Amino acid sequence: MDFYSKIPDLMDEGIIAIDSEGYIKIYNRMAKNIFGINFNEGPSYPEGVIKDGDIVVVADNMLGADDGGMTPEDLKLIGVNPCGVELGYAVVAVGRKGDKTGQGYVKFLKPDQMANELLLKTSVDDIVIESHINFPRRILRIKINDKIYDYEYIWAAGHMVILDGSTKCVKFYQSKGYTSRKEDMKFILMGQPFKGKGRYSKVFETYNKHILELHSDSEVVRKLLNVACGKEDDIKGVESLINGIPVRCSIKAVTDGAERIGAILEIVDITELKAMQIEREEALITLKKLQDKMISEKYKRQAFKAIIGQSPKIKQVIEIAKKAAEANSTVLLLGESGTGKNLFAEAIHKASSRRNGPFIYINCASIPENLLESELFGHEKGSFTGAVSEKKGKFEMANGGTIFLDEINELPVTLQAKILHVLQSKSFTRVGGLKSIDVDIRIIAASNKDLEQLVSQGKFRGDLFYRINVVSITLPPLRERKEDIYLLIENICNKLEDKINKRKKLSHEVYNILYNYEWPGNIRELENVLERAMLMSGDIIQPGDLPEYILRGNNGNIHGKALVDVKDLGPMRDIVEEAEKRALLKALKITKGNGKKAMELLQIGKTNFYEKLKKFGIESSKFRNNSS
């Protein structure tokens, strides 16, 4: 080798020079290092070929992408059943060459599931085998007993280790440059010979080989060939992938006078730079997701702030509603009249990604049947008597937001088909119109009746019921969440005080009566009763300020039930102490452990209150976390 021929190997960049026909004339040491040609690192093994009975371990982060064109069917070559596996999936598998389909082991993930890792661990002939993909670190790892074979990837790679079926020794493992050496996974599995490694590696002669023998067809290789034959001019600073390796390259023409005789490709390996860029991009994506989650949680807190209650039942319903707000699915709110279905519908809208769009409410029971279709879908001018101009319907007004169909159980059967059509096609026509109007809406429906029963009675379409019953939320009646009554009373009274511009208190007897009443009309009934009482009472609301039906609401007793009942007769002192203790316990239960509110309810001073707590060994803190 003369002086001039050594110069390319001294350069820090990879250099590949080809003639005008694409045959390699220079392929320097750095280029060979970049593309893994003459790989002689790691354990040694001689050249060979896969045989039936050999144990094969696979780790492929994107099936079909950079593995020689593997398909799910190719997994059958090692006895793996490919059922469920598709191109682009991440796959880890263990099998034997030539085994019957189904005898191998496989796990796989869809592209949208590749967040953390995929691991397959098994044992074959007393050999402990692991095939592992670490997606965040971009490492394909195959472990044979204690020996680890790692392959780092940027975009995609197919990693494989083969054990000799007889000796159980490693006879092949995937390494950098497998594309240049024609050792892609599929080629090896199909029986193509592989080259030796380590002390068995042989110098791979590149001189006078065509560029496409070493490098698969890619944009950069095509440009190199075009520049070499004079079809294109020089190219500078292009980033691309060659054999799956990220590089920055420039292409310069080689001329002899006016004749184009070839081209030189200068290459810099930017694998580490790309890895850093990807890590940065992923960090920014993670940060954006975290910010979006924090913003979403903020909107959820604000949206559901109007729903008052700390009972387990209402908390559970709120959590379901918050999850429903994250999606765009149709929601069906069920529950008795007055349970707050309209509040929940609006909260779901405000907590959703549609929060900046309109929220349109319509009560299907309050509009006459002959006007309902026009109200929902609008009408064209002259479509019926009185239609002097065109009118947008509620569905059109809700475009980009949410429409809330309250009491959907009252919707005429004739209109149910049209609602179903909107759900299926996201489009409708106005009354008297021919043009289809597309809308982007979310539908929330509510019913105070059992829709399934109405379906069985033929009063509600079954197909519509199944369409709106994607996320079903049943709101508990007030009688099933009695521990929320004190909070509800306080919240309602504060609003009413602002409305009537007066400050009023409730006597402990009134609290007791309201707590023990069954509230068939739920929160709406409670609001009406309190508003009447505040208008009719003096500074303190007394039992006489309540409607008589409330006073007679519990077994006909005018004053309802007391905070405590005398269970057994005995010494007066014992009766009084037991009554005091039970009154304290019930007051703390009603107020969820709030000492100040319990004192107000019992109408006793702070010192007396805490002395009695100490006397009876009662800890108010226990009532703050215990709603039973």
Mean pLDDT of 149-177: 91
Mean pLDDT of 277-295: 82
Would the pLDDT of 559 be above 80?
no
pLDDT at 167: 94
Spatial separation of the C-alpha atoms in residues 582 and 598, rounded to whole Å:
13
Q: Which one is the CATH code of 479-551: 3.20.20.80, 3.40.50.880, 3.20.20.70, 1.10.8.60?
A: 1.10.8.60
Kindly tell me the burial class for residue 114, based on how many C-beta atoms sit within 10 Å of its own C-beta (0-12, 13-18, 19 or more).
Answer: middle
- pLDDT band for position 40 (cuts 50, 70, 90): low
Query: Among the listed ranges 27-41, 116-130, 506-520, 560-574, which one has the minimum average pLDDT value?
Result: 560-574
User: Is 409:460 a contact under the CB 8 Å cutoff?
Assistant: yes
Residues of the chain with CATH 3.40.50.300: 307-476
Mean pLDDT of 168-189: 89
Spatial separation of the C-alpha atoms in residues 388 and 380, rounded to whole Å:
9
Which of 151, 208, 180 is CA-nearest to residue 267?
A: 180
Higher-confidence position of 450 and 1: 450
Mean pLDDT of 513-520: 91
pLDDT at 628: 39
Q: Looking at this protein, which amino acid is placed at residue 230?
A: G
Backbone angles phi, psi at 497, to 5 degrees: -60, -40
Taking phi over 0 as left and psi of -120 to 50 as alpha, with beta for the rest, 150 belongs to beta
User: Is 11:31 a contact under the CB 8 Å cutoff?
Assistant: no
- pLDDT band for position 371 (cuts 50, 70, 90): confident
pLDDT at 573: 65
Cα 385 → chain centroid? 50
Which of 323, 412, 328 is CA-nearest to residue 375?
A: 412
Higher-confidence position of 603 and 405: 405
- How many of the other CB atoms lie within 10 Å of CB of 78? 27
Q: What percent of the chain is predicted at pLDDT more than 90?
A: 54
Q: Which residues pair with 107 in a beta bridge?
A: 92
Both ends of the chain: CA-CA distance in Å?
Answer: 90
Spatial separation of the C-alpha atoms in residues 609 and 489, rounded to whole Å:
23
Residues of the chain with CATH 1.10.8.60: 479-551
Strands 158-163 and 147-152, sheet pairing:
unpaired
Domain 3-32+207-269 sits in CATH at: 3.30.450.20
Q: Which residue has the tokens 């093994």?
A: 45
pLDDT at 63: 96
Provide the 8-state DSSP code for 73. G
Spatial separation of the C-alpha atoms in residues 155 and 272, rounded to whole Å:
13
Query: Among the listed ranges 144-158, 513-527, 582-596, which one has the minimum average pLDDT value?
Result: 582-596
Provide the 8-state DSSP code for 23. B
pLDDT at 625: 61
Residues of the chain with CATH 3.30.450.20: 3-32+207-269
User: What is the length of the chain?
Assistant: 628
Spatial separation of the C-alpha atoms in residues 384 and 160, rounded to whole Å:
74
User: What topology does CATH give the domain 307-476?
Assistant: Rossmann fold (3.40.50)
Which residues, including other chains, have CB under 8 Å from residue 592's CB and lie 6 or more apart? 310, 483, 486, 487, 623, 624, 627
pLDDT at 553: 67
Which of 601, 569, 568, 604 is CA-nearest to residue 586?
A: 601
> What integer best gives the mean pLDDT of the chain?
88
Query: Among the listed ranges 165-174, 217-226, 291-300, 516-525, which one has the minimum average pLDDT value?
Result: 291-300
Per-residue pLDDT of 316-346, as tens digits, reads 999 999 999 998 999 999 999 999 999 999 9
User: Is 479:338 a contact under the CB 8 Å cutoff?
Assistant: no
Q: Looking at this protein, which amino acid is placed at residue 240?
A: S
Spatial separation of the C-alpha atoms in residues 185 and 188, rounded to whole Å:
5
Q: Which value, in Å, is the radius of gyration of the alpha carbons in the chain?
A: 38
Per-residue pLDDT of 10-24, as tens digits, reads 888 999 999 999 999
